[in-house]
Amino acid sequence: MVRIAVVAGSVRSGSFNVMLARAAIRHLEAHGATVTWVDLAHFDLPLYATAIEAERFPADALRLKQLFAGQQGILFTSPEYNGSVSPLLKNAIDWASRPTDGEGPVALTAYRGKAAAIMSASLSPFGGLRGLMQLRQILTTIQMLVIPDQLAVPNAHQAFDNEGRLRDPLQTSLLESSAARLVKVAAALSG
Q: Which residues bind ligand FMN (CB under 6 A)?
A: 10, 12, 15-17, 79-83, 122-124, 126, 128, 156
Minimal distance in Å, beta carbon 164 to ligand FMN? 13
**3-class secondary structure, 80:** strand
Q: Which is nearer to ligand FMN, 96 or 159 (CB)?
A: 159
Can you tell me the distance from the alpha carbon of 146 to that of 94, in angstroms, rounded to the nearest whole number?
A: 17
Q: How far is the CB of 128 from ligand FMN (least distance, A)?
A: 5
Nearer to ligand FMN, 153 or 183 (CB): 153
Q: Measured from the CB atom, is 118 or 156 closer to ligand FMN?
A: 156
Q: Quote the Cα angle for 62-38-5, to 5°.
A: 95
Identify which of residues 66 and 158 has a Cβ nearer to ligand FMN in the complex. Answer: 158
Long-range pairs for 26-30 at CB < 8 Å and ≥24 separation?
A: 27/175, 27/176, 27/178, 27/179, 27/180, 28/4, 28/75, 28/179, 28/182, 28/183, 30/179
Smallest separation (angstroms) from ligand FMN to the CB of 189:
28
Q: Give 125 or 148: the residue with its C-beta nearer to ligand FMN.
A: 125
**What CA–CA distance (Å, rounded) separates 56 from 62?**
11
Q: 74: which strand partners?
A: 5, 116
* CA distances in angstroms from 180 to 23, 90, 154, listed in the order given: 13, 25, 22
73 vs 128, beta carbon nearer ligand FMN: 128
Q: Report the nearest approach of ligand FMN to the CB of residue 41 (Å).
A: 12
> Which contiguous run of DSSP H or E holds residue 121?
strand 115-121
Closest distance of CB 156 from ligand FMN, Å: 6
Please give the helix or strand (H or E) that residue 3 lies within, else none. strand 3-8
Find the shortest distance in angstroms from Cβ 80 to ligand FMN.
4
